[in-house]
């Protein structure tokens, strides 16, 4: 038996297989049965290493189901292995990292306690929405980025005088890093979001994007509201093609169709969440972090 084992959660099975092969670990598959009331019954197929186990599972929709499954896998691994590393390619609840409005529960604080109690000794996440969330964790926590792999994919596309754009000021550093690696320049739009309704408005007036291909860069796309508003605004500025590059493509409520209808040529995302747009593999980045 190998000194390492990779336990694959159902939501990240393909990514876990890639990681397992690269680190020459025993691969442990999860069998999941969902009862009529929504409960998960998990059966592991494979032997867990007594030395080190690596649980790989994204906490994407259904978020609560995948979270409970992840904690269950960690708990089972800890019964056998002396060290358990939890690789969470997409960390659900990362937006709930502080109390924005009075009475809001900081769910990331709850997650920090749950991961520790379940038996994780270290957490590795990919492009977590906010690093503030990790401050609530009392175990080692590391964030890695899919930007280098996304940039390499974009480079092969040979775009026309590309310009990197962040749909808001919050993503300015991400856009700057992306542009630096791409050998391009960048801008960040000004966006206003109503905290209660979630409605988005672009506050920027004019940008010089004429005759340029644009890459809208974000960490995650949920319903695509920000991307759609940014695309509609940029299309009026006489740009060429618009592409979207993100790490996590949740694409809820028919978001992919709506984004393309707004004028986006292609959505490129990492395989932190399985899906049609998840064409950039980040297994090498995860292996380095492990």
Domain ranges of the chain: 4-145+282-289, 147-271
What burial class does residue 275 get, using C-beta atoms within 10 Å of its C-beta: 0-12 exposed, 13-18 middle, 19+ buried? middle
Q: Which residues pair with 32 in a beta bridge?
A: 42
How far lies 76's CA from each of 7, 23, 52, 92, 267, in Å? 10, 21, 13, 21, 37
> Residue ranges of the chain with pLDDT lower than 50?
none
Q: Which residues of 34-63 are buried (b: 16+ CB within 10 A; e: fewer)?
A: eeeeeebeeebeeebbeebbbbbbbbbeee
Residue with tokens 């409605």: 199
Q: Which residues pair with 215 in a beta bridge?
A: 164, 243
Residue 191 annotated among the catalytic residues of the structure: yes
Rounded Cα gap, residues 72 and 147, in angstroms: 30
Q: Do domains 4-145+282-289 and 147-271 have the same CATH topology?
A: yes
pLDDT for the residue numbered 202: 77
pLDDT for the residue numbered 1: 56
- Which structure tokens are listed for 118? 């379940």
Nearest C-alpha neighbor of 8 from the set 288, 286, 216: 286
Q: Is the C-alpha dihedral spanning 230, 236, 213, 207 positive or negative? A: negative
Q: Which residues pair with 85 in a beta bridge?
A: 54, 122
Catalytic residue among 10, 78, 109, 191: 191
Specify whether domain 4-145+282-289 bears CATH 3.40.50.2020: yes
- Which structure tokens are listed for 23? 């680190």
Contacts of 79 (CB under 8 A, 6+ apart): 119
pLDDT for the residue numbered 35: 96
- Classify domain 147-271 at the CATH class level: alpha beta
pLDDT for the residue numbered 192: 74
């Amino acid at each position: 038996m190998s000194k390492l084992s990779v336990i694959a959660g159902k939501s990240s099975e393909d990514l876990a297989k890639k990681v397992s092969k690269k680190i020459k670990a025993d691969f442990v598959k999860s069998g999941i049965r969902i009862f009529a009331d929504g409960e998960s019954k998990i059966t592991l197929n494979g032997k867990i290493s007594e030395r080190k186990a690596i649980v790989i599972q994204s906490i994407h929709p259904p978020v609560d189901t995948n979270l409970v499954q992840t904690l269950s896998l960690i708990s089972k691994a800890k019964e056998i292995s002396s060290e358990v590393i939890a690789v969470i390619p997409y960390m659900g609840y990362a937006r709930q990292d502080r109390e924005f409005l009075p009475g809001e529960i900081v769910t990331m604080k709850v997650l920090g306690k749950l991961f520790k109690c379940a038996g994780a000794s270290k957490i590795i996440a990919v492009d977590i929405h906010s690093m503030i969330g990790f401050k609530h964790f009392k175990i080692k926590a590391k964030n890695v980025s899919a930007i280098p792999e996304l940039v390499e994919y974009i480079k092969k596309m040979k775009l026309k005088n590309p310009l990197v754009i962040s749909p808001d000021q919050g993503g300015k550093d991400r856009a700057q890093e992306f542009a630096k690696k791409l050998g391009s320049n960048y801008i960040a739009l000004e966006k206003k979001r109503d905290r209660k309704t979630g409605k988005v408005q672009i506050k920027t007036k004019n940008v010089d994007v004429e005759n340029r291909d644009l890459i809208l860069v974000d960490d995650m796309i949920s319903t695509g509201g920000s991307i759609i508003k940014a695309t509609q605004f940029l299309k009026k500025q006489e740009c060429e093609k618009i592409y979207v590059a993100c790490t996590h493509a949740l694409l809820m409520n028919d978001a992919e169709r709506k984004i393309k209808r707004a004028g986006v040529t292609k959505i490129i995302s990492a395989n932190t969440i399985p899906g049609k747009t998840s064409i950039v593999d980040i297994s090498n980045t995860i292996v380095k972090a492990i």
